[in-house]
Structure 1
């Protein structure tokens, strides 16, 4: 009888271990690109670059490889950290090689398959071309694309990975870019409480404060921060006083006068992890952002007309409305996204 108890205990232990392994395997199973049920169809041309397991894994390896920088010290993942929703948490502007300071806050890498334009100030309209900018920028990676490719060509492991992903071991610019895109478009944040409520999953429901905040959001913020991505993808002048460096935003790409001080509307997802806020990281807290819209919107020549109502600039928010709006915005935080092991450095 005593041996039977030991055998039963051993069987229970083995079953528990097997179950744990199954759960772990399920968590890390690659399912390919899937459009969340409450999201629109992606903008990215998946037919031209379908996501495969080998392509994704190659893109992930490249994303975290310091060989993309001139002195082999920083990777894409250095300025886009998963635990911070792929931003560089705590830094107002990005820090590149040799701790060179950029001029803008590192934007999150999140839901990029639904983006029509990239960068705070525009200038890039194809995700497959976007990495060229940080790789070659003096204050970021300060490297040439050809040097990056030569470094990769010198590594047999990369030749093997390119062959697995694209059918031959030839390492080209197009394949390099497509691999990075395959990783980046898989950085999907779509499992916040908000998403679960919208999809009616697991009995998820807003609290009274969250629901009230949702109504305030739709009335006062929803025109620019459109659901479910919480950005309309447009470039707008939100009345920020120009900084000392006088960054003119979209104007730098278009040279159109009416584009001065227009910056890309950021998503409001994962604000818990992405501070500081705005294109130059000037606001450390969400309350500071609220204060800007309540009382600090500047009368700039291209100020977005949505920020002017009855001759008054800004957005009216009472203390109670701020509390409720913040409660709703907290439902946009997605812990599954920042803890997704598939997106982590392997």
Structure 2
């Protein structure tokens, strides 16, 4: 999708033009950069801010600390977010890709705009533990940021809007749509599923696709999937105030699931086998359990292996390893 510059610190338009590309098997995005013109300078600034640990209260945590590229931009081996002063959050870090198609963010959908979504991490006491005014003041007085903002926006003025827009120029470009599954769907280079993968795909469409809808492998809805009889986390109801939303969380994408463990809103499962066993035998009859799960999802051993084989076709190694997105 992208060519890599020989020197990422000095990206030149002639060498590499940063673009936002919509895979042919994807619908039109919700966010289109209409009011945030995508440029090389804006992307470069946003990426630098994404990996800048000095923006946090104790200068130890960046966005990239909890959103690690090798883990699909989630946090490997941490059940919940791990922020400043070794503080543990209460929810699992969600992966960051294909955000331009989302209309709401976080497990509870509490933020409706991709540009403002970083404010949650910035201000949360267990994440970056600071505020945007402190960050703006730091950037104004720290080289090379005034120059970088000048290159990105035409003047060295640094304000909240420019900080958030530049970060979005990085995060919204994180498109993952080049897995084996995508190549099969697009009929690229004769790509085909193996017999085991195809059996898994057919099982998936029968048993899982009503919530994990193609091509994003989520329908972006909020559901209770029976993890507990009474959830320790109120979930979506914290945002809506509606009692029937208690313990509901956004259906997560299954793309790159091979890399994005641990799983569930609280990171309680470390393997796909644990996830499948939950749906097979451990779904709790919570008062607002999703009706599709009232009998669980029964899978025998062979079917589990088929489902897992299919899920691995959702891994986009080009995205995971693209140095354009890596910390310089």
TM-score, length of structure 2 as denominator length: 0.94
1:39 match: 26
Mapped partners of 2:81, 2:197: distance in 1:
33
Paired residue for 2:104, among 95, 100, 117?
Answer: 117
Which secondary structure state, in structure 2, belongs to the residue aligned with residue 206 of structure 1? coil
Between Structure 1 and Structure 2, how many residues are aligned? 320
Mapped partners of 1:141, 1:24: distance in 2:
31
* CA drift at 1:167: 1.3
2:12 match: none
Structure showing greater Rg: 1
1:336 match: 318
* CA drift at 1:292: 0.7
Gapped regions of structure 1 (runs ≥ 5): 1-21
Which secondary structure state, in structure 2, belongs to the residue aligned with residue 215 of structure 1? helix
Gapped regions of structure 2 (runs ≥ 5): 9-14
1:18 match: none
CA deviations 1:315-340 (Å, max 9, x no partner) are 12121111111110010011111111
* CA drift at 1:188: 1.0
1:300 aligns with 2:286: yes
CA deviations 1:129-167 (Å, max 9, x no partner) are 110101100111110110011000002411111111111
Mapped partners of 1:235, 1:121: distance in 2:
8
2:97 and 2:174 in contact (8 A); partners too = yes
2:245 match: 259
Which secondary structure state, in structure 2, belongs to the residue aligned with residue 271 of structure 1? coil
CA deviations 1:79-119 (Å, max 9, x no partner) are 00001111110111111011100001111011100111111
CA deviations 1:236-280 (Å, max 9, x no partner) are 11111168x811111111111011010011000111111110000
* CA drift at 1:30: 3.4
1:48 aligns with 2:30: no
Q: How large is the Cα RMSD of the aligned pairs?
A: 1.8
2:197 match: 210
Judging changes above 3 Å, is the alpha-carbon distance between structure 1 residues 274 and 214 closer, same or farther for their aligned structure 2 residues?
Answer: same
1:62 aligns with 2:49: yes
Mapped partners of 2:193, 2:37: distance in 1:
36
1:135 match: 122
Mapped partners of 1:66, 1:23: distance in 2:
24
* CA drift at 1:24: 6.5
Mapped partners of 1:26, 1:35: distance in 2:
26
Mapped partners of 1:296, 1:101: distance in 2:
27
* CA drift at 1:25: 5.4
2:232 match: 246
Judging changes above 3 Å, is the alpha-carbon distance between structure 1 residues 26 and 36 closer, same or farther for their aligned structure 2 residues?
Answer: farther
1:327 match: 309
Q: Which structure has the highest helix share of the two? A: 1
TM-score, length of structure 1 as denominator length: 0.89
2:229 and 2:286 in contact (8 A); partners too = no
